[in-house]
Homo-oligomer: A and B are copies of this chain.
Amino acid sequence: MREQIRPTVPPVRVGNVFEETMERLVRSIRLGQFPPGSRLPSERDLAEELRVSRTTLREALAELKASSYVTVRRGRYGGSYVADALPHRPAAPLDADEVSDILTLRRILEPAAAELAAERGPTGPQREELWSLHVELTECSVGQYRPLDSRLHLRIAELSGTPSLLAAVADTRARVNSLLDRIPLLPTNLDHANAQHTEVVVAILDGDPAAARAAMLDHLDGTAALLRGFLG
């Protein structure tokens, strides 16, 4: 008789509400969803979006403030403002299996997203925004590169017109970011990445799905090689 194989059922909840909330916020900031210098929604609004009590949200915000992710100002027109340069994270050791897992999934998702974005063809304002995001990325300071890079990639995924794909890309990108935090950010690589971004963006604007996919694949394999290199 065949041995009964039962994949484990993943936990309903990881950590408590406070921890999850905290993680969500850090993630959103590192993904460039709230770019450096921008303002978070008011506590009341954010709590509602996250479906969390304001009390709990405030605990998380206090933690973010303590780790200097944000600065908080009171009064009307006050709020929580994202720091201009994000704090460094404690570097955990790289696990080869995890690296391979993340990179494999990303290699499936992002080229498909770029391809779909090119197929759909962005509207006028979307075209301008996509290009300006790219330009902003080439001009920003090194300390702001990662979140703005993520923001560009997420915007492309959004242009695929497939919300679930965007969510999946955001998930993997958050994980990739935590890997990238463990290796240095070299100017040479940035130039290379910027050139590749140009290719991807142009292909999307040209409505050339195959080129968009190919350029994205090329781009991803670049950083993938970089990451694998740091595994020894």
Listed in ascending order, the chain A residues whose CB lies under 8 Å from chain B are 2, 4-14, 17, 20-21, 24, 28, 33-34, 38, 41, 46, 49-52, 100-102, 104-105, 108-109, 112, 116, 129, 132, 154, 158, 160, 162-168, 172
Contacts and interface: CB of A to CB of B under 8 A. Distances in A.
A33 B20 contact: no
A8 B154 CA distance: 13
Contacts of A20: 12-13
B101 A112 contact: no
A166 B104 CA distance: 12
Contacts of A41: 6
A164 B101 contact: yes
Mostly, the A contact residues are: helix
Given A6-B34, A172-B164, A11 B105 contact: no
B7 A158 contact: yes
A227 to B, nearest CB: 15
Contacts of A112: 108
Contacts of A2: 129, 132
23 contacts: A2-B132, A4-B38, A6-B34, A8-B49, A9-B28, A9-B49, A9-B50, A11-B49, A11-B50, A11-B52, A12-B21, A12-B51, A12-B52, A13-B13, A13-B20, A13-B52, A14-B51, A100-B162, A101-B164, A104-B162, A108-B109, A108-B165, A168-B168
